[in-house]
Amino acid sequence: MINLLQQYLPNVFSLGWSGDAGWGTAIFQTLFMTFWSAIFGGFLGLIFGVILVLTEEGGILANKFWYNLADKIVSIFRAIPFVILLAFIAPITQKIVGTQIGIKAALVPLTLGVFPFYARQVQVALKGIDPGKIEAALSLGATTKDIIFEIYLKEARSELIRVSTVTVISLIGLTAMAGAIGAGGLGNTAISYGYNRFNNDVTLVATILVIILIFITQVVGDLLANKFNHQVR
């Protein structure tokens, strides 16, 4: 096996598994950026998505000011291309993590890049809840907290898992883009050690690994969504 790698994928083999340029390091960096950005960006996106649904016209906490504010924040960040966002918030990234390069620095733009997308996904998922269930809960004296956790988030959990899966897949793509400009990960490997050095085998393997990560995410997300969908029924 090793002889075959040396013969047909010499540049891939030369990078090794560990070390700054190793494949294990690149995979870990990609997973690190994806996981923590999904946590932070998902938390922000969920909050904004819930606010948009609660404060919209006809919502249980209808408030034009707060709805417009949340809507504008989400729309502005969603409209900024990710590459431009990386440069635009570089000073903020510097203040938060003390550097503008590396996987930790990438978490700031990745979080701000993914949260507006997820917020819109959450908004659509929650608006799919039958209004009759909300009205019935309110008539029984349910509080806003009850509506959020027992109606919106519980009833829409299968759909939320689906949109979360789509968001994580999108995030993996963003980590590859961030990696391409020095944040590390498989994107950095594909560009710095593959494309820039005309090592097509490195670029190919890095691409295949990203596709595998996306495939695994999709399969796990679908299984979880189907499981919770059956439980709701």
Distance CA 77, CA 116 (A): 6
A 10 A CB-CB count for 3 gives 8
Tokens (6 digits) for 111: 């979080």
Task: Give pLDDT, residue 230.
Answer: 55
CA distance 136 to 147: 10
Residue 108, pLDDT score: 92
Per-residue confidence (pLDDT) for residue 160, from 0 to 100: 95
- Sign of the dihedral defined by the CA atoms of residues 134, 140, 141, 145, in that order: negative
Report the distance separating Cα 214 and Cα 91, nearest Å: 31
Full pLDDT tens readout for the chain, 233 residues: 566 666 677 888 888 888 888 999 999 999 999 999 999 999 999 999 999 999 999 899 999 999 999 999 999 999 998 888 888 888 888 888 888 788 888 899 999 999 999 999 999 999 989 889 998 998 888 899 999 998 999 999 999 999 999 999 999 989 888 876 677 899 889 888 888 887 889 999 999 999 999 999 999 999 999 988 755 55
Q: What are the phi and psi torsion angles at 21 (to 5°)?
A: -105, 5
Instruction: Quote the pLDDT of residue 53.
Output: 96
Task: Note the pLDDT of residue 148.
Answer: 93
- Please indicate, yes or no, whether the overall pTM of this predicted structure exceeds 0.85: yes
